[in-house]
Structure 1
């Protein structure tokens, strides 16, 4: 009764007691001991169930109208909206920035359970109520994060996806034909498969010592550069470029060698020459030099491969060898301008000089010349004996 008198007094104070639809103004706090229903479709005897406050009509909105007028205080207006009010509109719940005409947050009807879940740890789950990291996405098939530049800021629209499943983790170039330029397959048992540190890239090492450092301990460390084009063509597959001598180093670490004798070799271009050098514990020693004119200099002996069976012309000394008479040799030279079994100048200029073959050809000629000399020596001996007999 006390509350009724107070309510009637408030209504009378504003002169609205006689109107059935007049606004009601309460000049004190309003406390409802029970549930409240607001909206034109609330019914007398409403069954609230566990609802404390219920909004019930065909346009459900809660408006936050900030009446601040001082420039130093925020005054933006906000609204909670349940469903669009237009025919065919969306079934959704949203938070609306009504001052700026924007809708920064929307949840559509029938969204899966735990579509967005914020745990008490601050972890955010997408599709899970048990996020174990800061952002945890769960999906039945290939959970994906899409990065889409939509052109609204004047830049060319472009879209990338980052996703993973049981076959691989990948980055997808959506606008580039959905190509997968970056992939990681499961089952990599080693840490540090790819590391970027101090502007260096390490493969299976977390402490790369050069721009690219590949380090393995199972005998599989290797680099392969493969051009698989079906069109045959000469191609440069590796280039070493430097403002100065460009070096390619090979080091054998199988034996501890403080002096590094013969363990490190370098191929390099210096002073217009291609050099092959060794490091026997001191300054590099040049073992081979090739200049721009094709002149080759080596510091040691030159050997043909000992693993190849060379056709050494020792057959010249065999009894069945048919040594060409000198008269035929003379005729051959007069007709052809070169020795038998020796390529002509024209052939050499056309096809090049096979050094191994030429050495064997020259050895054959030396051995034949030796036979000719021995034969002539025998004739000279016989003539001398006959001369001695005639003079005696």
Structure 2
């Protein structure tokens, strides 16, 4: 027996088997509502809150079903929606098609019921096919394409951004919370920025508080060339410049080394200026001796002629 109930010029049908219709006598699904193009443009749907039916439930918005602004299907609630697939979580997905997913307010949490920011991912355990402790993975996991992983390494207590290939090798950017150091290609940055490899830049600016203009001060003790020669013979490098062994073990401070090199250039310039003065004096003496020699040759020639 099929029950057909007419109320307010609408017809409902509740058959014991088959499809049930609310606002329609021709339901096309197990539960069907009146057609969108039936001339009733007001909002309607399912509610669990009679005083304000559009505040809590599932309904379509009001308006005619015409292009380009079709009505929306809205889910309105106070406490939230829980999707729990149970033991079949490996085969259960929420597939959002069309224009995608949009969240206009509030926070999104993945792996947490209390998201603390606009997008909060909590994933301490390793995800199959992803780098250890991966929290955000962009790219393929089953093909050799490049992929990008944002993770927090719980064992080493640092955050890392990994650019990883399918082969398993990766180059990571490490953010160490202990001191705020950043490492590229190394997971143990000992400085604000530590790079394991080469750096290529169009321009590098190094700020230095010490610059060797003091070399030109009148009271500066300029080392003599003899002293420099002795130091080179004993140490094998210039005074004030680290040895090859020291550089290999400790590296160099770029700003400090530039200052040291400039100091040596300025010292060399002073030595060149002094040597130029000495050379000019020698040339002046030689010129004087040359004139005297010419006068003497002239006198000798005159005596020989007589």
Structure with greater helix share of residues = 2
Range class of TM-score, shorter chain: 0.3 to 0.5
Q: Which has the higher contact order (CA 8 A, sep 6+)?
A: 2
TM-score when normalising by structure 1: 0.31
